[in-house]
């Protein structure tokens, strides 16, 4: 039986107060240290259950564990991307090949942004900009929880967490102001890096 390393919570790529005033130190501390850690713990526990069930041949709890891998694994991966997609030196607009592709696939940057903001307003979990390797194009996706509404095979390159724990402390029910604040700290360099990975792998 192969050995799997336990998932670990990655450190934030900046200080907890680095995104203020757009996202508070308190929210980042709670969100990263408690919420994201919870998904890491849930993924690790589910993986342990699956390994035990494989060894024993008793799969009575396998169905639930598989669901926990999907939920917690998606939560872990998307949160990791979310942290990387922000920077105290972020904001502005994408440049180069990423901007050209956004303009090609959505008509203009403003058209893409308006659609992404609509996805963020509608989603019950995440707004994602993904690369669809089947259609070979960028798409916006509104995802409920961490995985409901996801597109098979697509690779997220920009992730915005719109669960209430992301913004209620700072903005109350005003999700729109939080979405605006996110665009003040978007790290377009990491988005471009993820896009390049897609080009290297799929095109």
Q: Is 18 contained in some domain?
A: no
Average pLDDT over residues 32-58: 97
Residues 177 and 116 in one domain: yes
Does 165 carry a binding-site annotation?
yes
Does 201 carry a binding-site annotation?
no
Residues 121 and 198 in one domain: yes
Enter the pTM of the model.
0.94
Does 31 carry a binding-site annotation?
yes
Select from 60, 84, 108 the last residue of a domain. 84
Does 76 carry a binding-site annotation?
no
- Looking at every residue in the chain, the average pLDDT score rounds to 95
> What does the pLDDT read at residue 203?
76
> What does the pLDDT read at residue 202?
87
Select from 84, 106, 127 the last residue of a domain. 84
- Give the CATH number for residue 74: 1.10.287.990
> What does the pLDDT read at residue 4?
59
Domain count, the chain: 2
- Give the CATH number for residue 104: 3.55.40.20
Domain interval for residue 40: 25-84
Residues 192 and 101 in one domain: yes
Three state DSSP letters for the chain: CCCCCCCCCCCCCCCCCCCCCCCCHHHHHHHHHHHHHHHHHHHHHHHHHHHHHHHHCCCCCHHHHHHHHHHHHHHHHHHHHHHHCECCCCCCCCCHHHHHHHHHHHCCHHHHHHHHHHHHHHCCEEEEEEEECCCCEEEEEEEECCCECCCCCCEEEEEEECCHHHCHHHHCCCHHHHHHHHHCCECHHHHHHHHHHHHHHHC
């Amino acid at each position: 039986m192969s050995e799997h390393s336990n998932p670990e919570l990655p450190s934030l790529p900046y200080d907890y107060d680095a995104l203020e005033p757009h996202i508070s130190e308190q929210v980042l501390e709670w969100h990263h240290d408690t919420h994201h850690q919870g998904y890491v713990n849930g993924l690790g526990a589910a993986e342990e259950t699956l390994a035990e069930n494989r060894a024993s041949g008793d799969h009575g709890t396998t169905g639930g564990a598989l669901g926990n891998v999907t939920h917690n694994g998606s939560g872990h991966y998307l949160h990791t991307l979310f942290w990387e997609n922000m920077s105290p030196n972020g904001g502005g607009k994408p440049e180069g090949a990423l901007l050209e592709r956004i303009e090609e696939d959505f008509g203009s940057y403003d058209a893409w942004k308006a659609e992404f903001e609509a996805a963020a307003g509608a989603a019950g979990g995440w707004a994602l900009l993904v690369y669809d390797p089947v259609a070979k194009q960028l798409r916006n996706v509104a995802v409920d929880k961490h995985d409901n509404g996801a597109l098979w095979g697509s690779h997220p390159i920009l992730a915005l967490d719109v669960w209430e724990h992301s913004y209620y402390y700072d903005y109350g029910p005003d999700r729109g102001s939080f979405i605006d604040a996110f665009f003040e700290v978007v790290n377009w360099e990491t988005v471009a890096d993820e896009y390049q990975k897609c080009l290297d792998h799929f095109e």
